Amino acid sequence: MISIKGLSKHFGDLQVLKDINLKVGKGKVIVVIGPSGSGKTTMLRCLNILEIPTNGHITIENKQLDFSKKVTKKVTKKAIIDFRKLTGMVFQNYNLFPHKTALENVMEGPITVKKQSKEKARNKAAELLNKVGLGDKIDYYPFQLSGGQQQRVGIARALAMEPEVMLFDEPTSALDPELVGEVLKVIKELANEGMTMIVVTHEMKFAREVADEVIFMDGGYIVEKGNPQDIFTVPKEARTKQFLQLIQ
């Protein structure tokens, strides 16, 4: 479903991702953990082409973008826009349009990017907001919603584009602790429905419960990957052990 080969990313002289290789099967939930600055967010942003990789290939379903040096010129803007439609991104700070209601936020992408009719987009948006437990808040503006509610609008908005893969970038880290559960519950429901997803999070309990595979990143590398049971109880690498001791 997803295949990342030799992915690297530089910001000027700083190499933030170093030869990332990863395969994700359809319907699998991958949780990415690791210290701050290890490249987790940049990896997700490269998958959504919010950052242009310096090198490597990314394949999702049967679409491939090749950023290896010799062919970079061939990656057109149109190819990037098409590729981006395959993934739905949920951001740490929700990134909602402040002057649009919950319903309008969710309708926006399907209308502008997918050229859906307003009516179709509205019906789908209402259905998705209902699904994330906000059926009674569709006409509220972001400032009238709690952080947990705003993030659930963010999830509905990503789902409205009918992506193949959902990418979650620390979706609960900006939330007050009492609001974390309602967002994780929605993500868990999506996992149970078979959505393929990559979730960057510090919520280790969630990772244990939901992940098919946990990836530990440090210094721009995938240092270790495995099933949650192994990673959390018998990590192989010293750096993984050290990180887990610090946070648990």
Applying CB under 6 A, the residues found at the interface with ligand ADP are 11, 14, 16, 34, 36-42
Comparing CB distances to ligand ADP, the nearer of 41 and 151 is 41
Taking the complex as a whole, the smallest distance from the CB of residue 15 to ligand ADP amounts, in Å, to 9
The least distance separating ligand ADP from the CB of residue 11, rounded to whole angstroms, comes to: 3
Between residues 41 and 172, which has the closer beta carbon with respect to ligand ADP? 41
DSSP state of 114: S
φ, ψ at 43 (rounded to 5°):
-65, -45
Q: Which amino acid is at 46?
A: C
Beta carbon of residue 77, minimum distance to ligand ADP (angstroms, whole number): 20
Cα distance between residue 29 and residue 50, in whole Å: 21
Considering only CA atoms, which of 98, 222, 202, 109 is closest in space to residue 155?
109
Query: Residues, the chain, total?
Result: 248
**37 Cβ partners below 8 Å, 6+ apart?**
none
- C-beta closer to ligand ADP: residue 36 or 245: 36
Could you tell me which of 91, 102, 184 has the C-alpha nearest to residue 143?
A: 102
Give min distance, CB of 46 to ligand ADP, in A.
Answer: 9
The whole-angstrom separation of Cα 88 and Cα 95 is 13
Buried/exposed 172-184: b ≥16 CB within 10 Å, e otherwise: beebeeebbebbb
- Least distance from C-beta 154 to ligand ADP, angstroms? 18
Report the alpha-carbon distance of residue 47 to residue 60 in Å, rounded: 9
* Pick 156 or 215: Cβ nearer ligand ADP: 215
Looking at beta carbons only, is 41 or 240 nearer to ligand ADP? 41
Nearer to ligand ADP, 37 or 194 (CB): 37
Kindly state the smallest distance separating residue 232's Cβ from ligand ADP, in Å: 19
Structure tokens given for 157: 């908005």
